[in-house]
Amino acid sequence: MAEKRVIVIGAGIGGLAAALSLAAAGLDVTVLERAAAVGGKMRSVPVGGVRVEAGPTVFTMRWVFDELFTEAGTHLEAEIGLRPASLLARHAWNERERLDLFADVAASADAIGAFAGTREAEGYRRFCARAAEVYHTLEGPFIRADRPSPVDLAQRVGLSGIGSLWRIQPFATLWSALGEYFRDQRLRQLFGRYATYCGASPFEAPATLMLVAHVEQTGVWTVEGGLSRLAGVVADLVERQGGRIRTGANVARIVTTSGRITGVELADGERIAADAVIANADVAALGVGLLGPDATPAGDRVPPRERSLSAVTSCLTARATGFGLAHHTVFFSADYRAEFDTILRGRRLPPDPTVYVCAQDRDGDGDSAPDGPERLLLLVNAPADGGERPLAPREIAACETNILRKLSDCGLILEPTGPATVTTPRDFAGLFPGTGGALYGRASHGWTATFKRPGARTRVPGLYLAGGSIHPGPGVPMAAQSGRLAAAALRADLDSTARSRKAATSGGTSMQ
């Protein structure tokens, strides 16, 4: 199998994970990335002479990377510094109402009891137990496995698991399910925000997303150098395993011969032969033909109103006073339903947004504050209309004003040391073609949305998919897992082909 040539299109974490898994198995792997650096959404941008993380900032489900690095003959902590966070996040609604959540369930329950009363603390404990049940029900048959249909999933859990599958409330929305545990609307808002981790609204996303609570309780880490550095480490490992990574290599077309993958063609006309291709691109890009007509059947046409959320982000350095920021801090809007109605139905930026702030120079314990300016990422949710209706300058300016007003209402005053680097849905649409700025593929709205994400295998022989728009879903660990699943599917198919050729008799037909 060592002679087989594989091309991976896109050096996001899904593509890098697939490439590492394949290179470690002895395949000839080349990663082609059109940008100047690897990482995809795991990126940083220069601001005032320093790098500020501009993409994902939360690292969970480290087992995905532990297993990936073990495949490559090394260990995660031998390659990059990690520090477990005891404080998961700080939350604020105004100057008075603040709540910290911790990795320790008992500590969080105590904090919730002080914040909202004993009944809500007990509800939180019950919520945590149910979140753990949801996660354990889905990890093996869903997260670790090829994309299932609803019937497949039921078969995988077996008769003994049907009760657990039913108890995870697959047909309920996250918001309605949270009402069984919390009367306090602020707590429903806090835990409903987990839907935004995959670009969805808590009022339309399935209740199964409560599993995020369990994922965070089993470990959130701060990564030395940020998640963009983690992408770089995985890329280094690919090359150490004999793989090649080419940046500035824009794939214009996936090429097939007689319906089977034979390679790719770059924008400059260069052709590279391959026995298989893994496309680490949004499935919408393939569906609209951005990787050529031969690959279109492997894609998906996602209507604008079925896209996940986009965002407006601001990366800056500033002095922060008046509020004790944690590494992760969330400042909530006064009316969560109105916020999502404005974004998803009105297709506008909300006047009262929920603002996420990542204070990148603060540790995960919530007890550190830099002496002077610090690196900050500010993010608000936005409609994914970057390709059809770019935000006007006045809308972006109003958004910046609304963000600062929200932070000020909660007591946080920012004094920027220079201009910020702002990224809008239009910018995201340019960075990730075919998406319209959607950051998570198809929105996880309704119980069937989970099963609409394509799996690794496609209808085009030799073409496989990886990335956040692919099963098992968006987010750093899930996208990396999609790459591992794509690599496993490719290897299994190559093994099957090799066995068929060995079994072919003289005069017979072997698989091509």
Asked if residue 237 has pLDDT above 60, the reply is yes
pLDDT tens digits, residue range 423-458?
A: 999 999 999 999 999 999 999 998 788 888 999 999
What percent of the chain is predicted at pLDDT more than 90?
Answer: 85
Give domain limits for the chain: 5-42+62-69+226-302+443-503, 106-211
- Determine the pLDDT at residue 225: 96
Q: Look at residue 193 in the predicted model and tell me its pLDDT.
A: 97
Q: How confident is the model at residue 158 (pLDDT cuts 50, 70, 90)?
A: low
Is the confidence at residue 505, as pLDDT, over 50? no
The confidence band for 370, taking pLDDT boundaries of 50, 70 and 90, is confident
* SS3 per-residue string spanning 337-365: HHHHHHHHCCCCCCCCCCEEEEECCCCCC
**Per-residue pLDDT band at 495 (split at 50, 70, 90):** confident
Residues 6+ apart with CB under 8 A from 385: 304, 310, 347, 425, 436, 437
Q: Does the pLDDT value for residue 160 go beyond 70? A: no
Averaged over 397-416, what is the pLDDT? 97
The pLDDT of residue 70 is above 90: yes
**Fold of the 5-42+62-69+226-302+443-503 domain:** FAD/NAD(P)-binding domain (3.50.50)
Render pLDDT for 75-104 as a digit per residue (tens, 0 to 9).
999 999 999 999 999 999 999 999 999 999
- pLDDT tens, residue by residue, 173-232: 999 999 999 999 999 999 999 999 999 999 999 999 999 999 999 999 999 999 999 999
Q: Which sign does the torsion angle of CA 317, 319, 320, 324 carry? A: positive
Contact 479, 12 (CB under 8 A): yes
Check pLDDT > 80 for residue 25: yes
pLDDT in tens, 263-299: 999 999 999 999 999 999 999 999 999 999 999 999 9
pLDDT of the residue at 446: 86
Using pLDDT thresholds of 50, 70 and 90, give the confidence band for residue 506.
Answer: very low
Residue 62: what pLDDT?
A: 97
Distance of CA 443 to the CA centre of its chain: 12
* The pLDDT value given to residue 306: 94
| Residue with the larger pLDDT of the pair 409 and 365 | 409
Pairwise CA distance, residues 237 & 395, whole Å: 43
Percent of the chain clearing pLDDT 70 (strictly above): 92
Residue 504 has pLDDT above 50, yes or no: no
pLDDT score at 371: 87
- Is the N-terminal amide bond of 472 cis, ω within 30° of 0? yes
Asked whether residue 369 carries a pLDDT value surpassing 70, the answer given is yes
Reading the block at residue 374, the tokens are 């610090």
Residue 210 near residue 177, CB atoms below 8 Å: yes
Q: Is the pLDDT assigned to residue 122 strictly greater than 90?
A: yes
Dihedral sign for Cα atoms in the order 328, 425, 349, 192: negative
Question: In the predicted model, what is the mean pLDDT of the chain?
Answer: 92
d(CA 246, CA 251): 11
Give the Cβ contact number of residue 388 at 10 Å. Answer: 14
Q: How many residues does the chain have?
A: 512
Mean pLDDT of 228-245: 98
Is the model more confident about 49 or about 497? 49
